[in-house]
Amino acid sequence: MKYKFIISGGGTGGHIYPAVAIANELKARFPDAEFLFVGAEDRMEMEKVPQAGYKIKGLWISGLQRSLSLQNLAFPLKLVSSLRKSQKILKDFKPDVAIGTGGYASAPLLRMAALRNIPCLIQEQNSHAGITNKWLSSKVQKICVAYEGMEKFFPKEKLKITGNPVRQDLLDISSKKEEAISFFKLKKEKKTLLVLGGSLGARRINQLMEKSLSFFEKQNLQVIWQCGKYYEETYKNKGSETVQIHTFLNRMDLAYAAADFIISRAGALSVSELCLVGKPVVFIPSPNVAEDHQTKNALAISEKNAALLIKESDLDINFENEFSEMISSEEKQKSLSENIKKLAKPNATKDIVEEIEKLLNTKN
């Protein structure tokens, strides 16, 4: 039987990447299947999804601003427009299952799919559920989550802990250490610190790195510092023999393989990847994301003694002491590595797709 899958998720890479990973796994199982993505007209999914080889239709939708804003006046109009367009897309495409991975566009699409009695599944990446998924939770059949304790947001009987889809090239990074050292032209005898602030960059992490360069030198570390697109001009000349500055890291598998220690933001997918990588991590969550998701994601790991968590507001006081303590204690490094590896879910994409298959079987 030729199945049809409609998938919606976007606004950020954290919603788009899981949606594409799920589609790829479905395509591997059902090579004849048809796929259609639905996104928000002016967001990055309209570019990223076609790059991944899938068709996408856009809705005129955006989120409600948290502050008083003129943009909010257009929200009811956008919602009605998106609900109508979703209805037409569903009527024309006739999907067997609707899948949502969060972001504005998945709200109208999955709401209308549920009204048409199309089986629906949503995937929540964060340890604190997003507004869209909370709103949809009563309408869908299955909710795949990455963290324990999500029954405080969702009906318990619908939950399945699967983890978040992660890049499959991270499954065996331990075998890539030599290749990574050669790729980044690193010195074998030195330990390597990898610093990640996301593709656009993280201002506060970049400021910390600039301030700490002499501290890292005293610790005899070499540094791979990904400063991000927004900060390329500011930091591109701060490199040295032991400090490499990169706007992007195209080979994340090799960056992880090269690293002995990692400093990172705590977006849901970064956290899932770092559990798989299993290196000692310092999370510096962004305080500027919706509902402080990143702090909650990092807490879910640090509370299990599987990573260090330092808030941006505490960096000046705590960073050097906590980081020194970690890199001078092999016992601490070992326990952080072992504990974070226990939280890894390498089969997340397959497990999510198995839940989708069960929904197909309820239709047949």
Binding-site residue set: 12-14, 126, 167, 199, 268-273, 294
| Of the candidates 52, 60, 62, 56, the residue with the CA atom closest to the CA atom of residue 11 | 62
Edge-to-edge strands, sheet with 56-59 = 56-59, 34-40, 4-8, 97-100, 120-124, 142-145, 159-161
Q: How far apart are CA 158 and CA 160, in angstroms?
A: 7
Q: Which residue has the tokens 């072992």?
A: 338
Whether residue 288 contacts residue 200, with contact meaning beta carbons closer than 8 Å, is answered with no
- Say how far apart CA 308 and CA 301 lie, in whole Å: 8
CB atoms within 10 A of CB 361: 8
| Binding-site positions for UDP-N-acetyl-alpha-D-glucosamine | 12-14, 126, 167, 199, 268-273, 294
Residue type, 159: L
Q: Residue 314: how many CA atoms within 13 Å on its side-chain side?
A: 13
152 phi/psi in degrees, rounded to 5:
-75, -15
